[in-house]
Structure 1
Amino acid sequence: MSMVTYIGLNFPVEINDDYTEEDVNITYVFSESEDRQIVKNQHFTTLFVYELETKGDHIWDMHNDKKILSPHNFSKGDYCEIYICWNGEEAEDSKKKLDLKLAQLPVEQVEIYEKCLITLKN
Structure 2
Amino acid sequence: MSLASYIGCNVEVPLSNDEENNFIYIGDCFSNKYNKQDVQKYQITTPFVYEVSSDWGIEISEDMNQTTCAESKKKLIALCEIMDSYLEKGDYFELYSCWGGEEKDKRVGDITLKIDKLNVDLIELPEKTLVRIEK
TM interval, short-chain normalised:
0.7 to 0.9
C-alpha deviation, 1:84, in angstroms? 0.3
Count of paired positions: 119
Question: Once the two structures are superposed, what CA deviation does each residue of 1:70-100 show, in whole Å capped at 9, x if it has no partner?
Answer: 5221110110001000000000011021100
8 Å Cα contact 1:67/1:102 also seen in 2? no
**For 1:1-122, what aligned pairs fall within 5 Å after superposition?**
1-54=1-54, 57-58=71-72, 61=73, 69=81, 71-73=83-85, 74-106=87-119, 109-122=122-135
Change (3 A) 1:52 1:66: closer
TM-score, with length taken from structure 2: 0.77
TM-score, with length taken from structure 1: 0.85
Structure 1: 5+ residue runs without aligned partners? none
8 Å Cα contact 1:102/1:121 also seen in 2? yes
Question: Once the two structures are superposed, what CA deviation does each residue of 1:19-45 show, in whole Å capped at 9, x if it has no partner?
Answer: 422221211001111110111111111
Change (3 A) 1:100 1:70: farther
Relative to its length, the structure with more helix (as a share) is: 2
Relative to its length, the structure with more strand (as a share) is: 1
Rounded Cα–Cα distance in structure 2 between residues aligned with 1:42 and 1:68: 23
Change (3 A) 1:20 1:120: same
Structure 2: 5+ residue runs without aligned partners? 56-67
